[in-house]
Amino acid sequence: MKQTFNLIATAAAGLEAVVGREIKDLGIERQVENGRVRFQGDITTVAQTNLWLRAADRIKIVVGEFPARTFEELFQGVFALDWENYLPLGAKFPVAKAKCVRSKLHNEPSVQAITKKAIVKKLQSYFHRPEGVPLQETGAEFRIEISIHKNQAMVMIDTTGESLFKRGYRTDKGGAPIKENMAAAIIMLSNWYPDKPFIDPTCGSGTFCIEAAMIGMNIAPGFNRDFAFEAWPWVDKELVEAVREEADSKANYDIELDIMGTDIDSRMIEVAKNNALEAGLADVIKLKQMRLQDLKTDKINGVIISNPPYGERLLDDKAVDILYNEMGQTFAPLRTWSKFILTSDENFEQKYGTVADKKRKLYNGTLRVDLYQYFGQRVKRSEM
């Protein structure tokens, strides 16, 4: 079986650079592209990136790339790949996804079917199985995906399984939650460090607070879940366990963090508490029911991150206008605090009352949103 792989980490639009920086911090050379980051490595690299990447969606092995302008070219291109170095006899290998963009081949079900047919023929030839006799797919699953962009095909195997945003700590998510990996990315895009106070005044199910605590304590986000590649028979289970043990040894469970989440909805505070408990962080995060306009603090140099309910999420337009205005008035006295607010409302700054220092375009699922960034006036305690 393969020893080294061409790999990609997929990412939501706008978060590629964050994922690229994470991979670089793992000591891995990488190339940032639209929607993904390319890198190379062995099965240890696959384990490390699945365990540690906070902002990525999935880690995929790139089996091969080739031109595919016709179905025959697609078939021959897939057939030519070294599937015997990935798929053992008996493996399940569904072609689970096909995506065609700006290409002559655009019928995605047909692309899936031909890709599957080519892999079957290659394995029948390699394992000396007669044509017409189906391969028995009773073993571990290797989920195959194919993307054709501008007539160039890329064939991949997903190593992750359920998306990396599924950390495993959400007992309930409430209405319209932010994904865990986007929350982590926004925290990493902010100027928050573990020695600063952190507040989410519209915390909902507690995702920002939990992700901040995991970052602050250097807890690998994938530590409490399994990945698809771990079931593959040629993967060294002891090696993967060693990567997990190393990740656990790097966590700093003794660091003191000042993280608080508040929400006007008492039911959501209970959800957030249950999620924090599931994450093992119930004693790290302070969670309480409170109106946003009651937020006051004498602490300095803190960071506020908020994903408030906006037009497409939960509140009507009038309620949203009132909320944004209250945010502006409530946050104004907190001169030394930086504020990072995520919303799809293009008139947010007008309603909030202040023009942002910086604005970053992101996507919450398919919804275009902006991260409005207001940087605090940095002061020393002796100046207060």
Q: What distance lies between CA 112 and its chain's CA centroid?
A: 26
Q: What is the pLDDT of residue 381?
A: 57
Specify whether the CB–CB gap between 305 and 200 falls below 8 A.
yes
Instruction: Give residue 310's pLDDT.
Output: 59
H/E stretch holding 320: helix 317-331
Q: How far apart are CA 113 and CA 98, in angstroms?
A: 10
CATH 3.30.2130.30 occupies which residues in the chain?
5-158
Measured distance CA(317)–CA(48) in Å, rounded:
44
Q: Is 314 left (phi over 0), alpha (psi -120 to 50) or beta?
A: left
CATH assignment, 180-220+252-374: 3.40.50.150
pLDDT at 131: 82
Position of tokens 């790290």? 284
> Which tokens in the block code for residue 170?
């959400």
Q: Is 161 left (phi over 0), alpha (psi -120 to 50) or beta?
A: left
pLDDT at position 315 is 56
Token pair for 176: 């319209």
Could you tell me which of 38, 94, 32 has the C-alpha nearest to residue 61? 38
Domain 5-158 grouped into CATH 3.30.2130.30:
yes
Checking DSSP bridges between strand 358-364 and strand 367-374, what pairing results, if any?
antiparallel
Q: What is the pLDDT of residue 382?
A: 55
- Mean pLDDT of successive 10-residue stretches along the chain, which has 384 residues: 95 96 98 97 98 98 98 98 97 98 97 98 94 91 98 98 95 80 97 97 96 98 96 97 97 97 95 96 97 96 90 63 94 97 94 97 88 90 54
Residue with tokens 């993280």: 259
Which pLDDT belongs to residue 313? 44
Scored b (16 or more CB within 10 A) or e, 283-294 reads ebbebeebebee
* CA–CA dist 118, 83 (Å, integer): 10
Q: How far apart are CA 263 and CA 286, in angstroms?
A: 12
Integer Cα distance of 370 and 366 in angstroms: 13
Q: Where exactly does CATH 3.40.50.150 map onto the chain?
A: 180-220+252-374
CA 139 to centroid of chain Cα atoms? 28
And the tokens for 190?
Answer: 């902010």
Of 291, 263, 295, 294, whose CA–CA distance to 276 is shortest?
Answer: 263
pLDDT attached to residue 147? 98
Judge contact between 10 and 50, C-beta under 8 A.
no
Residue 352: its H or E element: helix 348-352
CA 87/CA 170 separation, integer angstroms: 33
